[in-house]
């Protein structure tokens, strides 16, 4: 890997990275995909994906990602499993990546390193993950287990308000649990949520336990009022945790422009402030965070990388 200069290196193998790989491979750029610790990305952590176009019956998340990988490989993408980028030097082209201790040089770089969810940090949250605990209303809200059931949304920002409002389509009631006595969401989002008669805010409250571990299915939450110290229990079938995301962008700090939360800023299309470095998917998207939008951004990043290389006769 040391001396060969890649035309396109892709950090990440989720929907964004593998779609970028497909497009770059079909442009005969033989991209190298560095999968990181989670080959296939976040979608491999879910079972059925019902909103990825082309699968009327839904598709298993891991199966979808294996298909994307095979499709990219068919056209010449090289997928390096488990390879993690530890460091980057984007000050000069070719860019220098440190991958598992070795150096890799690349003319263009597509960053598709995704974002993780912020967790409450409770044992019961871990135990009941995907058994009623979820981090994405758009992904899971319509599941039969949540239909006509009381649900809890944890958080007080725009995402929490949006998720709570969205869930009123399915739920019998939505409790919006927030640790403060007012929402920190934008005025319009907060007003929309609070004026919805199906949404009941629960102020000054923190989740101390998610109930149902014994039955392997969420049955409620135990809340602690941080002003009065009082405890209360709310029965519910699902807990939607919307307390923020953490983009996997630490290694690019001080080299690429990011917003305060660490999302890489796209200057135009999929471009970053460094010519030759492109970005796609959840590491630069705090709005949609969907498989199909990540894939679309991966496509855009690869097309732009290809155009840059072509303009340089590479
Ligand atoms: C439980 C769950 C269910 C979901 N369900 C749906 C759904 O039904 N429909 C939908 O549209 N969306 C769903 N989503 C959201 C969807 O998974 C994401 O929007 C999508 O995966 C984002 O793709 P991405 O390529 O940007 O990032 P990710 O899928 O997060 O992939 C990031 C990749 O970057 C790699 N990486 C990170 N750091 C490094 C590094 N330093 N070096 C090398 N590689 C690195 C990781 O290993 C990984 O391969 C769900 C998410 C979760 C968690």
**Residue 290's pLDDT band (boundaries 50, 70, 90)?**
very high
249 lines ligand 1 (CB under 6 A): no
Ligand 1 pocket, mutate which of 16, 31, 41 (most atoms under 8 A from CB): 41
For the stretch 80-122, pLDDT in tens is 999 999 999 999 999 999 999 999 999 999 999 999 999 999 9
Using the mean position of ligand 1's atoms as its centre, give its distance from the Cα of residue 181 in Å.
33
Transcribe 193-244 into DSSP letters: HHT-TTEEEETTEEEEEEE-GGGTS--EEEEEETTT--EEEEE-SEEEE-S-
pLDDT score at 282: 97
The two structure tokens encoding residue 206: 């923190």
Report the greatest alpha carbon distance in the chain: 69
pLDDT of residue 159: 87
pLDDT above 70 for 1: no
**pLDDT classification of 45: cutoffs 50, 70, 90:** confident
* Per-residue pLDDT at 3: 65
| Per-residue confidence band for 125, with pLDDT thresholds at 50, 70 and 90 | very high
pTM: 0.85
């Amino acid at each position: 890997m040391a001396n060969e200069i890649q035309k396109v290196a892709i950090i990440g193998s989720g929907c964004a990275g593998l779609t970028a790989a497909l497009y770059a491979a079909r442009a005969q750029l033989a991209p190298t995909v560095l999968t990181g610790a989670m080959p296939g990305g976040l979608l491999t952590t879910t079972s059925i994906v019902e909103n990825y176009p082309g699968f009327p019956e839904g598709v298993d998340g891991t199966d979808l990602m294996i298909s994307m990988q095979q499709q990219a490989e068919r056209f010449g993408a090289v997928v390096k499993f488990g390879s993690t980028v530890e460091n980057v030097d984007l000050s000069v082209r070719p860019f220098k990546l440190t991958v598992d201790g070795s150096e890799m040089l690349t003319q263009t770089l597509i960053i598709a390193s995704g974002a993780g969810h912020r967790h409450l940090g409770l044992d019961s949250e871990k135990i009941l993950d995907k058994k009623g605990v979820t981090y994405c209303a758009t992904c899971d809200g319509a599941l039969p287990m949540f239909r006509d059931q009381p649900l809890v949304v944890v958080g007080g920002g725009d995402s929490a308000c949006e998720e709570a409002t969205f869930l009123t389509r399915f739920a019998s009631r939505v409790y919006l649990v927030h640790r403060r006595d007012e929402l920190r969401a934008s005025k319009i989002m907060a007003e929309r949520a609070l004026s919805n008669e199906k949404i009941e805010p629960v102020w000054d409250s923190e989740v101390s336990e998610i109930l149902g571990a014994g039955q392997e299915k969420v049955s409620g939450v135990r809340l602690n009022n941080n002003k009065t110290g009082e405890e209360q229990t709310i029965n519910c079938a699902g807990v939607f945790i919307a307390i923020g995301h953490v983009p996997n962008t630490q290694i690019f700090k001080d080299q690429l422009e990011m917003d305060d939360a660490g999302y890489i800023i796209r200057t135009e299309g999929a471009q970053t402030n460094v010519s030759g470095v492109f970005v796609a998917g959840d590491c630069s998207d705090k709005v949609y965070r969907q498989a199909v939008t990540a894939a679309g951004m991966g496509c855009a990043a690869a097309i732009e990388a290809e155009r840059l290389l072509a303009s340089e006769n590479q």
